[in-house]
Amino acid sequence: MKRTSIAYSLLTTVLLLSAEAARAFPYEVLQTDSLAKESATLKHTNQGQIKTRVVVLDGEITTVGTETTIYTHVLINEARIMQQIMLGSNLTLRASSPFYFIYEKEEGKDAPRIVSDATWVEAQPRLDLVYATANNLDITLGADAFYVRNYDYTSKAVSFSSKDAYHSAFFARPHLSVAKHGSNFDAGFAYQVGVEKNRSLTKSNTIDNSSLQLNDVLYEPTVVSIFMRKDLANSSFYGEFAAIEASGGGNKTSTGATSEEDYFRFTLGGAIPLASKSLVFEPTLIYKSLSYADNRNVTLPTIPSFALHLDLNFDNAGLPVFLGAILVRGTDGQSLTEFNAKYKLVGYGAVLGLNWGF
């Protein structure tokens, strides 16, 4: 029991000295409906969409030398609704929100085996007011909001258990998007302000039945995006480059260091007619670069990764539905000096949706 107590104390010390990233829904390669993309692709009509996605992610962290392996399993259920309403000839109101139901489990391969899991709910509503000028310039003003419900992250071993109780949090930030529309080419930029939100975190364990009150900082970083859309050969292609200032906030160590560094995200998509234009194939590739600041803060969402979304739209065939598949990959093959660990992320998913007014 003494060795277990010492191990738990060391684990607590490491957690306090590190600055693990805390962000609402960190797997951003799964988010295809960015502010920039909607600014470039949605028309000034009364239209809406509802869709649901199910994604399974499997992660593996292997430490060379000690030969230890930790497995992570994540089940993500997403439901998203979007509605756009014309308020006038040049004014549009757009509201949307994805709802996430997430289950995560982490377990060691070898003894002493510790199994940790948590289930939580998140929502990210967005409200936009779009003003169209006489020279085909769209100016979008709005806000993103983030809600994370309270949940418990529990860890169990043979001789002890621990619990991290996270309190709920709600916070919001403003954003701006400007898009210039041409006959077959659109381009613009989007800016989303970074914001922090403090929430309470209570750590407890069954070794000495003690509890510790901490402050956890949720952080949504500043995002600056440039985007374009081009019509070509009866198809439409979309590109977006986003620079994310992840080092601007979040949990910090005692020396003031943050858990993440600035990184970028790249999106390339298209809408390609098939079968005499009765079907539309809509592939989207999203890639994010490495974002962890140091080896103490490597998590699966912070390693380089990409997601390939393959949708098939039946609108032109008279059915306002679409369905698709999702493939996720992430690896970090570099040698980490302190731990020399290898990180791997693999995921699969499916999407089903309904359009109206498109």
Residue listed under structure tokens 């259920």: 77
> Residue 11's pLDDT band (boundaries 50, 70, 90)?
very low
Cα torsion 105, 106, 108, 109: sign: positive
Instruction: Detail the DSSP E strand segments found in the chain.
Output: 47-63, 68-88, 91-108, 115-123, 126-132, 137-148, 151-156, 161-166, 169-181, 185-192, 195-205, 211-220, 222-232, 235-245, 263-274, 279-288, 305-313, 321-332, 341-356
Q: Which CATH architecture has domain 2-20+50-356?
A: Beta Barrel (2.40)
Host H or E run for residue 41: helix 35-41
Q: What is the pLDDT of residues 106-165, one digit of tens each?
A: 998 877 788 999 999 999 999 999 999 989 999 999 999 999 999 999 999 888 899 999
pLDDT digits (tens, 9 = 90+) for 31-87: 999 999 999 999 889 999 999 999 999 999 887 766 788 899 999 999 999 999 999
Q: Which pLDDT tens digit goes with each residue over 247-295?
A: 888 877 767 778 889 999 999 999 999 977 789 999 999 999 999 887 7
User: 339-348: per-residue pLDDT in tens?
Assistant: 577 889 999 9
Q: Which DSSP letter does residue 255 get?
A: T
306 DSSP β-pair partners: 287, 329
Enumerate the domain spans of the chain: 2-20+50-356
- Look at residue 251 in the predicted model and tell me its pLDDT: 79
